[in-house]
Amino acid sequence: MHSNPITDQINEQKTKVKLGSPKIEIIAPCIINDGIIALNSDEQSRLITLFDDYQKELLLFIPASGSGSRMFDFLLSSDNDLENDPRVKLFLENLCQFAFFDEQAKSLHDKWLKGHIKSRGLIQEVLGGHRGGFFKSPKGLIPFHQIDQGSLNAFQEHLLQGMNLQTKVKYHFTIQESFKEEFLSSLRDLNNRFKYDYEVSFSFQDQETDSFAFDQAFEPLKTDNEALLRLPAGHGALIENLVQLEDQYVLIKNIDNVQHIDRSDKSNDIWKTICGILFEVKSKLRKMYLNPQFDSLHEFNRTYHLFTGQQLDACHDQKSIKALLEKPLRVCGMVHNEGKSGGGPFFVRTQNGSITKQIIEAVQVSQDKGQMEQLELSTHFNPVMMVLDLFDFNDEKYDLKSFRNDDNYFVVNKKFEGKDISFMELPGLWNGAMYDWNTLFVEIPIATFTPVKTVLDLLGENHHPNQ
């Protein structure tokens, strides 16, 4: 009797959801000079020069399918809350500072100041309805910054800044398919304003990777039309999008982590720095691969902290050295953790007992006292800028999916249309999806990390021109 693939999928996901998110054993956090390298200004300058000399073709890969609705959550509370919420007051009093403040918004804002329109009405008119519907818009299409030539949404700002990085840069955005025309319109607008033809491609998160949703009794939920309810399985699904690319060097950054163009020099210098170190490390790894020697491997590692002691100890002949080297390579730019939620870099024990460097989220850590203490000792945050080399030493693309750890999935519990539901997210893009990659952690300045989680973040100085 043949099994039903959908039924098998449902049963497999149900089992995982019941078990909850697998826990990973932390040995210790990665810190400066023990898992993370810090570069001085001379080293940075040397790597920037190296980047300029190499002139490699780069692809900026920007996940941009996320909705912008969370930016405005606090503006959607009840009328009573609205009038008394200090965040709402801050938003309305500073409305003129936002990039989406235009003549119509100014007219409405004047009416609000005179008491002729309520806060709710002003918010709905400026952000919703016929004025673009920011409540439902992807974050990439929301105006972030104002320049002399008009406003720039997050998508346009990434394009503009990439042009200042180097002339050969290409762009790839993962978006919601239903908004493709809006992104194309935004691209045409930028091309017209700056008379520059950006090389942009788009892809969508593969719906085949969507997860099944379960109720509290772990029964699959159905939609109103009796179809099984499926939800996007997190950014880990985007490994499928990376697989489709033909490019060797890929730079990854979140759509909402972008500064005003006036303040982008530091980020571009960091891009050049971590690209430079990737090129340098790959060149050294290639030499070692062609002539595997223990001494040169250990000497290399004292400088770059790419491998753990256990990984080096497992190398007992030339074949095992080559096996250690022959993996996709990434350089992760890590900033100091200043109390923001999210994961960080750790030494962890794998199921076979070896110790490797991984990026771990809090949800992956058990509540055991010792494990929580290790989590609290973390000094650095999730990678805010990441450079990948997807080719092997024969200049052929790696089979990226073979380096994924499928056991590093996440179980998500949330409300959906008023119901408590659970579903499985695939191993995160920089967690389980890149679990068996060779990973170099590099400290980068906190100024490169300016995410826009709420609309109020756009009031920060990094989102306005230098005075």
- Give the span between the Cα atoms of 22 and 361, in whole angstroms: 11
Quote the pLDDT of residue 353: 81
CA torsion, points 241, 18, 351, 404, in degrees to nearest 10?
A: -10
Residues 308-330, mean pLDDT to the nearest whole number:
95
User: Are 260 and 463 a contacting pair, CB within 8 Å?
Assistant: yes
The mean-pLDDT minimum among 119-123, 127-131, 224-228, 459-463 falls in 127-131
pLDDT in tens, 174-190: 999 999 999 999 999 99
Residues 421-434, mean pLDDT to the nearest whole number:
91
pLDDT band at 74 (very low <50, low <70, confident <90, very high): confident
pLDDT band at 167 (very low <50, low <70, confident <90, very high): confident
Quote the pLDDT of residue 205: 82
Longest dimension (CA), the chain: 80
Helices and strands of the chain, counted as H and E runs: 14, 18
pLDDT band at 69 (very low <50, low <70, confident <90, very high): confident
Going through 328-450 in order, the beta strands assigned E by DSSP cover: 329-334, 344-349, 355-360, 385-389, 410-416, 419-425, 438-443
Which position has the token pair 């179980």? 411
pLDDT beyond 60 at 460? yes
Q: Where are the alpha helices (DSSP H) in 195-317?
A: 239-244, 265-290, 294-304, 309-313
Residues 149-154, mean pLDDT to the nearest whole number:
94
pLDDT beyond 70 at 107? yes
Higher pLDDT, 414 or 291: 291
Going through 339-437 in order, the beta strands assigned E by DSSP cover: 344-349, 355-360, 385-389, 410-416, 419-425
Ordered by start, the domain boundaries in the chain are 8-68+140-463, 72-136
Residues 262-280, mean pLDDT to the nearest whole number:
96
Rg (CA), the chain: 24
Quote the pLDDT of residue 187: 96
What is the DSSP secondary structure assignment for residue 77, as one 8-state letter?
S
Q: Choose among 61, 458, 454, 451: nearest CA to 256.
A: 451
Quote the pLDDT of residue 6: 84
- Give the span between the Cα atoms of 107 and 112, in whole angstroms: 9
Name the CATH superfamily for 8-68+140-463: Spore Coat Polysaccharide Biosynthesis Protein SpsA; Chain A (3.90.550.10)
AA letter at 432? G
pLDDT band at 341 (very low <50, low <70, confident <90, very high): low
Helix, strand, or coil (residue 134): coil
Question: For a pLDDT cut of 90, what percent of the chain falls above it?
Answer: 62
Q: Choose among 349, 335, 343, 341: nearest CA to 430.
A: 343
Quote the pLDDT of residue 364: 87
What does pLDDT average to over the chain? 90
Quote the pLDDT of residue 131: 43
pLDDT band at 197 (very low <50, low <70, confident <90, very high): confident
Q: How far is CA 313 from the centre of its chain?
A: 33
* Burial tier of 76 (Cβ tally within 10 Å: 0-12, 13-18, 19+): middle
pLDDT band at 231 (very low <50, low <70, confident <90, very high): confident
Compute the C-alpha angle 232/238/243, nearest 5°: 140
pLDDT beyond 90 at 271? yes
Helix, strand, or coil (residue 317): coil
pLDDT band at 79 (very low <50, low <70, confident <90, very high): low
pLDDT beyond 50 at 130? no
Compute the C-alpha angle 384/388/392, nearest 5°: 165
